[in-house]
Amino acid sequence: MKRKGTLVSTVKMPRVKAAQAGRQGPAKRRLAEHFAAGEIITDMNKKEWKLGSPIGQGGFGCIYLADMNSSKSVGNDAPCVVKVEPSDNGPLFTELKFYQRAAKPEQIQKWIRTHKLKYLGVPKYWGSGLHDKNGKSYRFMIIDRFGSDLQKIYEANAKRLSRKTVLQLSLRILDILEYIHEHEYVHGDIKASNLLLSYKNPDQVVYLVDYGLAYRYCPEGTHKEYKEDPKRCHDGTVEFTSIDAHNGVAPSRRGDLEILGYCMIQWLSGHLPWEDNLKDPNYVRDSKIRYRENIASLMDKCFPEKNKPDEIAKYMETVKLLDYVEKPLYQKLRDILLQGLKAIGSKDDGKLDLTVVENGSLKAKPVAKFEVYPGDLIVLSAGYISLRSPLSMYVVLCGLSVLLRYFAYTLQH
């Protein structure tokens, strides 16, 4: 008689390494105290907002669900979030200046209309102000609410995204970068953990967030000069940051595009050649310089198979030719990525093909059904199912049937 069982697999969220470690910055900052749900804050335009539950905390302070003030409590379906930090901290102040100058809803809508886009992945700024609590002053900012971040999805998918997904994502990121560059800013910290899916439409819409390192590279139309500052060396996330940033140079448009190139390579291949030495930023910088001089060797290192994504190499070759103050040809870069989609028999259909559900959270992996024959030993432990000889296991996973016969086999879910 056969013994039957069912394994229900859940997605585990691995610890995120340096890609999510974030920026260089002051070692100590005063943290915001936690506010109770229902707290009312008033922005500079005298509009009242009600706080809901906290949903995150970072080096700057806390993030709360929020909605316009009413007699109702703020539910889990709240459309906005509020970022709060002590008023004497810096990151939110920097981010707030970007939003006030470049992310008003009417600015974004005008750009979408004039450039004939379906959407633009820049969060909308809804308000900001100062709030006093127990004799202390706190700065706050209200923006759109989002779902899961791309880093979680990348990790949950065994550190791989499909070629189509990477190209689709990168086309949307180029739209975002062109917009913020035209509004005198560069981002400086593009990475998967700073790319958030839409809360309502996660399979098609992605947003670039966290403008704490945003830099106004071209105030009043005058580009900053190239100048190396040892105090600013390696700003950003070491894994992805530009060679300019490694050298202490203020970020520019070419730096954002270089960072996107490194992201594309990692999302496709699962690694970057220098990621095992992230504690040595000089090593990382020197590796990037060496590979910039020989893009083909970078592609060989990351994609040893014959079927290399030629569009990524063309993109990197194009970006490396940009001068520090040069305005990129964004459409040329988009055309390169569109050629990549065509090469795999696809097109820019706007679908990201990510493993998410409607609220932006991750789907559980499919159920694995199995039958174990007499004499087999099943050992259940944290995160593992161990099956030892004699074994004849019939697995039905994702609609595929596979007959596994091994002396010793361990299946991690």
Distance CA 200, CA 360 (A): 7
Calpha distance 12→386 (Å, rounded): 18
* Binding region: 83
pLDDT, the chain, mean: 82
Helix, strand, or coil (residue 136): strand
Catalytic-labelled residue, pool 144, 175, 189, 235:
189
Q: How many residues does the chain have?
A: 413
Nearest to 75 by CA among 66, 84, 83: 66
- Is residue 215 predicted with pLDDT exceeding 80? yes
Within the chain, all domains assigned CATH 1.10.510.10 are found at 147-343
Tell me how far apart the alpha carbons of residues 198 and 19 are, in angstroms, rounded to a whole number. 21
- The pair phi, psi for residue 124, each rounded to 5°, is -85, 140
Q: Which range is least confidently modeled, 91-100, 326-335, 397-406?
A: 397-406
Pick the residue with more confidence: 118 or 380?
118
Beta bridge partners of 144: 80
- For the question of residue 189 being annotated catalytic, the response is yes
User: At residue 413, does pLDDT exceed 80?
Assistant: no
> Which residues belong to CATH 3.30.200.20 in the chain?
34-144
Quickly state the pLDDT bin for 90 (edges 50, 70, 90). confident
55-59, 88-92, 209-213, 298-302: which has the highest mean pLDDT? Answer: 298-302
**Within 13 A of 65's CA, how many CA atoms are on the CB side?**
15
- Kindly tell me if the per-residue pLDDT of 314 is higher than 80: yes
Q: Which CATH number, 3.40.190.10, 3.30.930.10, 3.40.50.720, 3.30.200.20, labels domain 34-144?
A: 3.30.200.20
Q: Calculate mean pLDDT across residues 226-244.
A: 95
The whole-angstrom separation of Cα 185 and Cα 214 is 6
**The model's pTM:** 0.78
Number of Cβ atoms within 10 Å of the Cβ of 170: 24
Note whether 174 and 334 are within 8 A (CB): yes
| Window from 7-16, 113-122, 184-193, 233-242 with minimum mean pLDDT | 7-16
Average pLDDT, integer, range 238-254: 97
Token pair 């450039």 is at which residue?
Answer: 115
Q: Percentage of residues in the chain with pLDDT exceeding 70?
A: 77
pLDDT at 369: 37
Binding residues for ATP, by number, are 83
The mean-pLDDT minimum among 25-34, 72-81, 116-125, 344-353 falls in 25-34
Q: Which CATH architecture has domain 147-343?
A: Orthogonal Bundle (1.10)
